[in-house]
Structure formats: C-alpha cells, structure tokens
Amino acid sequence: MLKHKNTLLVLAFTVAIFSCPFFLNPYWIDVINNIGLYAILALSLNFIVGYTGLFHMGHAAFFAVGAYTAAVLNTSYSIPILLLLPVSGAAAALFAYLVARPIIHLRGDYLLIVTIAIVEVVRIALVNNVFGLTGGSNGIFGISRPEFFGFSIRRPHEFFYYIWSFLAISVFLFHMLEKSRFVRALNYIKNDEVAAEGSGVDVAYYKLIAFVLGAFWAGMVGNIYASKMTLISPESFNFWESVILFVIVILGGSGSIRGVILGAFLIVGLPEIFRQFAGARMLIFGAAMVAMMVFRPQGFLPPVPRKYATHKIKPGDETL
C-alpha cells in the first residue's frame, strides 16, 4: 500500500515539474533550473555527507574543477561542451581523489576544516590565474551552448528539460545505488565507523570512493552550469556555495533523496519568493537554520530506516 502511495507521489511530482514550462514565465523557469542544478549538486554531496556521514564543506571546489575543465577545453579547443560532460566529471573525480587521499583519515571537525581550506585554496588559485588558464578574477567567457544533434539548447525552458532530465537520471541511479551493498557499507561507516572496520569494511577505501563519486557528479553539474551561464568566474565557487549545498542536504534530510530535493526547493526557491524582503531574508534564513537544528535536527524528510524481511530468510539462504 505504502509502496503504491510512494510511486504515485513520485509520479505526480514528476508530472507537475515537467509541466512547469507550459505555464511559468522565463524568469521562474530559470529559478526552477537553478533549483534543479542545486538539487543535483546536493544529491552528489549527499553521497559524502548523507550516506557516509563525512563533514565535507568544500563541494564547490569539485563543482569548480568540473566547470573550469569544461570552460577551458571548450573555449581553447572548441570541443563541444556536451562531449566534455564525462571529461568534467572525471577531472573533478581525479581532483577529489588527489585531495581526499591524504585527509581521508581525519575525523569530524578536522575534515570539515580541511575541506573549507580546500575550497578557499581553489578559489584563490582561480583568482590568481594559476597556470595562466583560468582567466583570473574575470573568469572565462564565451563558453558555447550544448548541442543535441544540431539542436542548440539556449533558452530557459530548453535548459529546463536538459537539467531536469539529468536530475531524473541522477535520482534513478542514486535510488538504485541506495539498495546496493556499496551504499549499505557507507551507511555502516556513518553509524559506527569502528564497528564497520571491525566487520571488514575497508573504511578509508569506501570513504575515498564516496568522495570520488560525489565529485564526479558535481563535476558534470559544473559542465552544465558553465554551458548555462556561458561565463564563469571564481566568485561562483566560493565557500558560501559549499555552505548552501551542505545546508540543503542537512535541512532537507541527510541521506534521503526526497529530502535533498525538498531542501533544494526550500533553500534556493524560498528566497526567490520572498525577494521583496531582500535585506532581511538572509537574517531569517540564519535564524531558521538555528531553529531547525533545535527543533528538528534530522531534517524535513529524513531517510526511511532500512527494513529487512528477516522472517522470510530460511537457514542456508544467501543474505548479502
């Protein structure tokens, strides 16, 4: 029964979202596009923060590496931006592997601080035009639009279908992964790292894979972002972007796909609705974060606890 209700809800939400372009003006479609981008980014961060329980507040660094990879290769070698999608992801994943490897043993707060430092160092490196590739504080402009078989995506509602299809694919993949042995191991690490290690989960390895996978996805979003804006600059990848992503995951419900998407709607969407209170909205946002942690620290839609039908298991059955 519950299962049918869930399917219906997901279906209704999907239909509602994909009918948006028919009755919203371009401004609001663009807002929805931004929500979509943040949702995908937050889902990729959810791998690290939500599933594995690592305090990672430097996700904007991976996003930046993906976006800059796409921008540099596209503007210098005019490689079609859509072909660069996996390249951006791979570059971000490689970067994540290199930076996460030496720090993966750090716990809790220490990891939080190092990841903040990483995102700041990346931003400072971009501003200082490292290797002469990143265009300094002005960034890179003239990035081309994505093209599907000769059809160029440029208007907000065209980007809407591009971004939200990508989001739908991501949700599907992550939902599938959630049931896997791999994500169960990550959840184990989140709940009790020592016990996980004791049960034969290679904690450092799994943490590293979580970082690499999350970064791969963030890098691909960087590519989409670059092609949507056609101009990127270091200020788009500062520490506050990381904080926003982190807050989306935590307030929405860390470890839950629905929660993260709801979080993206609340944190990116609500400030747009309350635009007329421009000055005070961030003040309220801060106060709301405190109130939320005091009254509902698990987030709006926390993940449903795993259930195992243990009574159906017969002796001698393969269980994992």
Distance from C-alpha of 226 to C-alpha of 139, rounded to nearest angstrom? 11
In the bound complex, what is the minimum distance in angstroms from residue 247's beta carbon to other proteins?
Answer: 7
Dihedral pair phi/psi, residue 152, rounded to 5°: -90, 135
Contact call for residues 257 and 175 (beta carbons, < 8 A): yes
Q: Which residue carries 């992801």 as its tokens?
A: 89
Write out the binding residues for other proteins, residues 297-316 only, by CB under 8 A: 297
| Pairwise CA distance, residues 237 & 228, whole Å | 15
The stretch near other proteins (CB under 8 A) out of 16-24, 173-181, 203-211, 287-295 is 287-295
The site that binds other proteins (CB under 8 A) totals a number of residues, namely 40
Tokens of 35: 């929500």
Contact region with other proteins (CB under 8 A), list: 31-39, 62-70, 144-152, 281-289 = 281-289
- Consecutive H or E run containing 147: strand 147-148
With b for 16 or more beta-carbon neighbours within 10 A and e for fewer, the 216-245 pattern comes to bbbbbbbbbbbbbebebbbebbebebbbbb
Contact between 237 and 63 (Cβ < 8 Å): yes
Q: Identify which of residues 161 and 240 has a Cβ nearer to other proteins in the complex.
A: 240
- Residue 293 CB, shortest distance to other proteins, in Å, is 4
Q: For residues 159-218, which are near other proteins according to CB under 8 A?
A: 194
- Of 111-119, 142-150, 208-216, 304-312, which segment contacts other proteins by CB under 8 A? 111-119
Rounded to whole angstroms, how far apart are CA atoms 143 and 71?
6
172 vs 277, beta carbon nearer other proteins = 277
Among the listed ranges 9-17, 22-30, 69-77, 247-255, the one in contact with other proteins (CB under 8 A) is 247-255
Q: Which of 168, 285, 301, 302 binds other proteins (CB under 8 A)?
A: 285
Please select the residue that binds other proteins; options are 243, 269, 272, 302, rule is CB under 8 A. Answer: 243
**Looking at 112, 133, 177, 301, which residue binds other proteins (CB under 8 A)?**
112
* Segment interacting with other proteins, rule: CB under 8 A, options 7-15, 174-182, 208-216, 293-301: 293-301
Task: Give yes or no for residue 251 binding other proteins (CB under 8 A).
Answer: yes
Stretch that binds other proteins, among 12-20, 73-81, 117-125, 138-146 (CB under 8 A): 117-125
CB-based burial of residue 193 (10 Å sphere; 0-12 exposed, 13-18 middle, 19+ buried)?
middle
Distance CA 215, CA 61 (A): 9
- DSSP three-state, residue 148: strand
Residues 281 and 215: their CA atoms lie apart, in Å, by: 30
Contact 229, 106 (CB under 8 A): no
* Residue 120 vs 147, nearer CB to other proteins: 120
Q: Which of 288, 300, 301, 302 binds other proteins (CB under 8 A)?
A: 288
Q: Which of residues 80-109 bind other proteins (CB under 8 A)?
A: 102-103, 106, 108-109
Pick one of 128, 138, 152, 165: the residue that binds other proteins (CB under 8 A): 128
Scanning 230-277, the segments in alpha helix (DSSP H) are 239-253, 257-264, 270-273
How many residues are given for the chain? 320
- List residues binding other proteins (CB under 8 A): 55, 102-103, 106, 108-110, 112-114, 116-118, 120-121, 124-125, 127-128, 194, 243, 246-247, 250-251, 254, 279-280, 282-283, 285-290, 292-294, 297
